Amino acid sequence: MNTTIALGAEQAARIADGVYLLRQANRWDVIKSRGQKGINDSLKISGQFSMESSNRFGGSSGGNLSRSESGFGYIAEGVEDRKHELLIGIRGTITGADWVTDFQQTLHRGPSGFAVHRGFLRTFDSFEPALRDYLRKAHKNPTIVHIVGHSLGGALATITADYLRVRGLAVKLYTFGSPRVGVDSFSEQLSNQVGAENMFRVSNQSDPVTMLPIFPFIHVPNNSAQYMIPSWGGVNFCNHFLERYIESCSRKDWKNLEARVNGSWSEQAMAWLESASASGGAVQIYSAKALWMIMKCLNHILRSAAGDTYVAAGETIMGFATVVDHLTMILHRGILESQKIKNSATKLISVIMKFLGRNFVAGTNLTVSFIRWVLDLLFRALSTMAYQALRLANM
């Protein structure tokens, strides 16, 4: 069991913020001109870590026709009480090319062999040689590697944690506003390998980026503590901004941020569904709470419908079938095979329609085409909100 002291919540958030300074070469040149202390102060790591200017690494992101090169992160070495520790900071989404990466929802095998988001993996692969070369040349045997990232940087930090565990290194992972990275099996094995107690995923309940990509992707760690910032108003693009995360983590320790629930999240969500779908049940249009609960309910119902094939279903999505098509097939098959699933799916569809500000007529036949239409409306709305959050974060 790793007993290394974790970074503080506010400290990790400020480190995630500092990484953005490395993106542009001309800005980095200005920071380098301030000397070692200036570099460490700018990156918010003074007193615990120190970064040599040569340990900035670049990478590329975007689609095949729009991949762009830029500074993506750095490696810093521990000093004083953190001697023999390493820190890897990875920046988040900040350029237009990165938006394409965030929404390419295809799968590929990650460092440990489990399926992850192909777009995220391609960006990781672009800077992996820098990590490999550092570890080979530096002859370091760190007691722990702290890995920090916000937004896309959180996704890349997660894959980096997987990569370093394969190499036998102990890690602590800190992410803020991260999208989902891999499928169920990836989440399970990484949670086991790293240890859920060494994974600090901070999310805002109304940050739409944290709700993507949709099935078959899920968050890490699985079935463990979540560090959640309460925000049950409407879905708010601004709550993806790192400044909001820093503010919410200010003067708080991890226990203050830990979300607790009576029973499981699925049980809580399904109880909410019963109330929201009842006659007269109110669902606020584009409410963050409603969206969060809808996604939990959908995941629960899909698991019930797919049974033992749930994980396999996620890992076999191919180019000829969209994610929505796949979800529709699983859900419709479950409706045909189980009255209980049919009842739950009917309630969920009615609540989704309320969330979108549309009417649902009781007794509507849940055909394949109707289910697909409703899910497509939901996921297009969610993707649009997340896209706007990423776009506004760059302004």
Catalytic residue among 102, 191, 207, 277: 207
Range in 105-114, 195-204, 262-271, 322-331 with the lowest mean pLDDT:
262-271
Per-residue pLDDT at 86 exceeds 50: yes
Q: Domain 9-260, CATH 3.40.50.1820 — does that match?
A: yes
Query: Has this prediction a pTM greater than 0.85?
Result: yes
Top mean pLDDT of 105-114, 245-254, 260-269, 343-352 is at 343-352
- Rounded Cα distance between 55 and 369, Å, is 53
- Span 290-317, average pLDDT: 77
- What is the sign of the dihedral through the CA atoms of 282, 284, 285 and 291? negative
How far is Cα 202 from Cα 360, in angstroms, rounded to an integer? 35
Mean pLDDT of the chain: 85
Q: How far apart are CA 305 and CA 329, in angstroms?
A: 10
pLDDT at 309: 61
pLDDT at 54: 86
Query: Which sequence spans correspond to the domains of the chain?
Result: 9-260, 265-387
CA separation, residue 41 to residues 33, 100, 166, 171, 392 (Å):
13, 32, 32, 24, 27
- Residues 267-296 have a mean pLDDT of 87
How many Å apart are CA 173 and CA 267, to the nearest integer?
Answer: 28
For residue 104, what pLDDT is reported? 44
The verdict on whether 151 is a catalytic residue reads yes
Q: What is the pLDDT of residues 135-190, one digit of tens each?
A: 988 767 899 999 999 998 999 999 999 999 999 999 999 999 999 999 889 999 99
- CB hemisphere CA count around 19 (13 angstroms): 35
pLDDT average, residue stretch 82-108:
70
* Res. 319: pLDDT tops 50: no
Residues in a beta bridge with 70: 59
Q: For residues 210 and 381, what is the distance between their CA atoms, to the nearest angstrom?
A: 14
Compute the 3-state secondary structure of the chain and give helix, strand, coil in percent, each to the nearest 5.
55, 15, 30
